[in-house]
């Protein structure tokens, strides 16, 4: 009996040491687990992956400050509009088409919400057609009226050859590729006042608040 009483404290000590060792190992394992950050679902053939939260942007920052590919197209009023003519202020650039339904309506509504919040200090918005055959003047006017963007954006169209070149430069899949493929590649870009691509938005990042915040970042305010 006396021997059993002597062995009991020793056994308890061994158990305590084992528990302490397990706790230390578990703590090390949890501290070394990598953290993850959400990123924009960039098209797989893009060679310029976005950097999450870089520089304080709410959208995904694009590295390198690459100059956005130039374009010269025609807006809904028949006026020529080039990328160079929009310099001096940040520019929101989107590719939509009037008959695409919910994906395009959602993007347009987020842009409209940002313009509403910006009030007297809006940014230029260039929407480039992804379906020149379907985006005739009547269809464009109807679409812009439905999303409350009439008179607030440049809705740009052109010849098939002109738009093919722009789609390729921006890695856009047009309406002809199918609705699901178009939606997958339907990113919105924010350019700075010098025409450089700075921020990219997928569906998860595109909100009026994110757009307004990032425009403010580019304006230095």
Instruction: Count the domains in the chain.
Output: 1
Q: What is the pTM of this model?
A: 0.77
Range of the domain at 89: 54-219
pLDDT tier for residue 176 given thresholds of 50, 70 and 90: very high
Q: Beta 124-129 vs 91-96: how paired, if at all?
A: parallel
Confidence check: pLDDT of 43 > 60: no
Choose among 175, 186, 96, 180: nearest CA to 143: 96
Q: Does some domain include residue 28? A: no
| Structural domain contains residue 27 | no
CATH number of the domain enclosing 80: 3.40.30.10
Q: What is the pLDDT of residues 143-172, one digit of tens each?
A: 999 999 999 999 999 999 999 999 999 999
The mean pLDDT of the chain is 82
| Domain annotation covers residue 194 | yes
Residue 36 lies in a domain: no
Please tell me the predicted confidence (pLDDT) of residue 31.
40
CB 117 within 8 A of CB 215: no
Asked if the structure places residue 38 within a domain, the reply is no
Q: Is 2 part of any domain?
A: no
What is the separation, in whole angstroms, between the first and last Cα of the chain?
A: 80
What is the C-alpha separation between 131 and 95, in angstroms, rounded? Answer: 9
| Residue 35 covered by a domain | no
Does residue 33 sit within a domain?
A: no
Please, what sign has the CA dihedral across residues 61, 62, 64, 68? negative
pLDDT category of residue 54 using cuts at 50, 70 and 90: low
- In the 3-class helix/strand/coil scheme, how is 104-116 assigned residue by residue? HHHHHHHHHHHHH
Q: Is the CA virtual torsion 204, 207, 212, 213 positive or negative?
A: negative
């Amino acid at each position: 009996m006396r021997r059993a009483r002597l062995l009991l404290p020793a056994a308890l000590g061994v158990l305590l040491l084992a528990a302490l060792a397990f706790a230390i190992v578990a703590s090390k394992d949890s501290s070394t687990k990598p953290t993850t950050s959400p990123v924009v679902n960039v098209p797989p053939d893009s060679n310029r992956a976005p950097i999450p939260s870089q520089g304080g942007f709410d959208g995904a920052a694009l590295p390198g400050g690459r100059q956005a590919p130039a374009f010269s197209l025609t807006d809904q009023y028949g006026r020529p509009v080039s990328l160079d003519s929009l310099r001096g202020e940040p520019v929101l650039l989107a590719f939509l088409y009037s008959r695409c339904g919910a994906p395009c309506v959602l993007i347009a509504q987020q842009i409209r919400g940002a313009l509403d919040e910006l009030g007297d200090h809006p940014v230029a918005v260039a929407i480039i057609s992804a379906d020149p055959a379907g985006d005739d003047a009547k269809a464009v006017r109807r679409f812009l009226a439905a999303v409350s963007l009439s008179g607030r954006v440049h809705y740009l169209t052109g010849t098939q050859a002109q738009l093919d070149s722009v789609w390729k430069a921006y890695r856009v899949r047009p309406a002809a590729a199918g609705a699901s493929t178009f939606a997958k590649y339907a990113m919105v870009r924010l350019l700075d006042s010098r025409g450089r691509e700075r921020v990219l938005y997928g569906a998860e990042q595109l909100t009026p608040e994110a757009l307004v915040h990032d425009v403010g970042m580019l304006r230095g305010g």
